[in-house]
Chains A and B, each alone.
Chain A
């Protein structure tokens, strides 16, 4: 379970997150939508402490961290409970696909090499890239790189995987294979928080859609309600614009 209480993030005077309260159940698939620059990515990055939140508390599993007083050890512990998938894949360029996936198990969890590589092999099978085990990122397509990026997040065995616009950098031809893998994870009830503009993915896969604007949660509910019966004018306005180019 994930629980955010009054989570805020200020960059100087700019308020990017303005007191977010949110509870997500284990196994829930949450899709976060909203206009650009309204704090969607920052929200994910704060949960993983890639950004230091200004205030509020974050609970993931049985670990609760207070943003004001987070120690280095708590930040590391929180990062180990959560896994992150980046928009631009961010694979380690000096490591093969297999090493990218095994890296966390070897270095953070201190698994023996053989066990870590065995686990990496299983994940490569799951993401359909067993034949790319020894390939370096530079020799893989964008879609393959992002699947390895997701594989790396899967290896963590994390409470939640945070997806930050995982298909936004991809050429259209690679989007489907990445969304397909995410659907597969969703069907295994991996807890996921996904920031995306892929509205059909949100409609088909999400248990809950959250609309964020101006650093606040404006509206949330099952996709059928948010997409077909939005209440708030800002939600209606946003959906009208995005559905014109990205229909559900």
Chain B
């Protein structure tokens, strides 16, 4: 009985592997931008900077409160309609914009919680030796908050890698898009998507290993 066409699956691996870099690129660029944005949001929230704080609250509320797919369609199909200069926006750019804003909203909250969790007396100690607020954040608070936030941030990164698959709805041929094309040519949907699933799975497993390694490194200062 021919349940699975294994030869087809093996043949598909090198074909799909060519699209994996784009998937990883979308996730990595999205993650870096989202981290930067999330740190800014978190600092604005912690310091309660007037006006910016309120704007940030609304931004976070919107991007946490609406589906990522809706946001992607808004950026890709909606924005060009509003601003004609944005007609050149391509699927990849729209995906990165969507991933960045969507995930920065989530990450801002976990970074904020991690910052607030750093022992208040260390903040006083840093101020007492004459550090500025910026120096205090960079050298004392953020390094410690990173350790606390790392597991959650890695979870969001993993989530983001999987969310890149939505880019195929904007016509981007990344891993998911390529699999869809291959499958509709061969009609071997099960085989094709199993190969894609395993590829996502392996990437995520490798990341989990990296997370474990980073946690041990960052915990070095805190073990007796």
Minimum CB–CB distance from B220 to chain A (whole Å) comes to 8
Confirm or deny: A203 has a beta carbon within 8 angstroms of a beta carbon on chain B: no
Residues 159-173 of chain B, each 1 if its beta carbon lies under 8 Å from chain A, else 0: 000000000000000
Total residue contacts A-B, CB cutoff 8 A? 73
B135, A107: Cβ atoms under 8 Å?
yes
Considering the complex, which residues of chain B in the window 107-141 have a beta carbon less than 8 Å from any beta carbon of chain A? 119, 121-122, 124-132, 135, 139-140
* CA distance in complex: A50, B127 (Å): 8
Q: Residue on A with the closest CB to B224? A: A139
Please tell me which one of the listed residues B119, B131, B144 contacts residue A108 in the complex, with CB atoms under 8 A apart.
B131
- Contact, CB under 8 Å: A93 / B121: no
Centre residue among B121, B128, B221 by max chain A CB count within 10 A: B128
Contacts A93-B221, A138-B224, A139-B223 hold; do A84 and B128 have CB atoms under 8 A apart? yes
**Contact residues in B for A84 (Cβ distance below 8 Å):** 124-125, 128-129
Q: Are A90 and B221 in contact (CB under 8 A)?
A: no
Known A138-B223, A139-B223; judge A90-B132 contact (CB<8 A).
Answer: no
Query: With the chains together, A83 CA to B129 CA distance in Å?
Result: 6
Contacts of B143 in A (CB 8 A): 94
Is B213 close to A, CB under 8 A?
A: no
For the complex, count residues of A whose C-beta is within 8 A of B: 27
A152→B121 contact, CB < 8 A: no
CA A119 to CA B205, docked complex, whole Å: 46
Taking a contact as CB atoms under 8 Å apart, the answer to whether A107 and B131 are in contact is yes
Q: Is A144 an interface residue (CB 8 A)?
A: no
State which residues 50-84 of A face B: CB under 8 Å: 50, 76-77, 79-80, 82-84
Q: Which of B122, B130, B132, B220 contacts A104 (CB 8 A)?
A: B130
CB distance from B93 to the nearest CB of A (A): 37
DSSP majority for the B interface? Answer: helix
CA–CA, A14 and B223, complex, Å: 42
Across-interface contacts of A86 in B (CB, < 8 A):
121, 124-125, 128
**Residues in B neighbouring A76, C-beta threshold 8 A:** 130, 132
Assess the A79–B127 pair: CB atoms within 8 A.
yes
> Residue B222 contacts which of A48, A92, A138 (CB distance < 8 angstroms)?
A138
- Residues of chain A within 8 A (CB-CB) of B130 are 76-77, 79-80, 104, 108, 156
Contacts of A80 in B (CB 8 A): 129-130
Residues in A neighbouring B223, C-beta threshold 8 A: 138-139
Shortest C-beta distance, B130 to chain A (Å), equals 4
A152 CA to B121 CA in the complex, in Å? 15
A91 at the interface (CB under 8 A from B): yes
Query: Which residues 139-162 of B sit at the A interface, judged by CB distance below 8 A?
Result: 139-140, 143-144, 147
The reply to whether the CB of A103 lies closer than 8 angstroms to some CB of chain B is: yes
Contact B125 A91 (CB under 8 A): yes
B127: chain A residues at CB < 8 Å are 50, 79
Interface check A38, CB cutoff 8 A: no
Q: Look across to chain B and name the residue whose beta carbon is closest to the beta carbon of A106.
A: B139
- Taking a contact as CB atoms under 8 Å apart, the answer to whether A136 and B131 are in contact is no
Selected A-B contacts with CB under 8 Å, 12 pairs? A50-B128, A79-B129, A83-B129, A86-B121, A86-B128, A90-B121, A90-B125, A92-B122, A93-B221, A94-B144, A136-B222, A152-B125
Going nearest first, the 3 A-B pairs with the smallest beta carbon separation are A80-B130, A90-B121, A90-B125
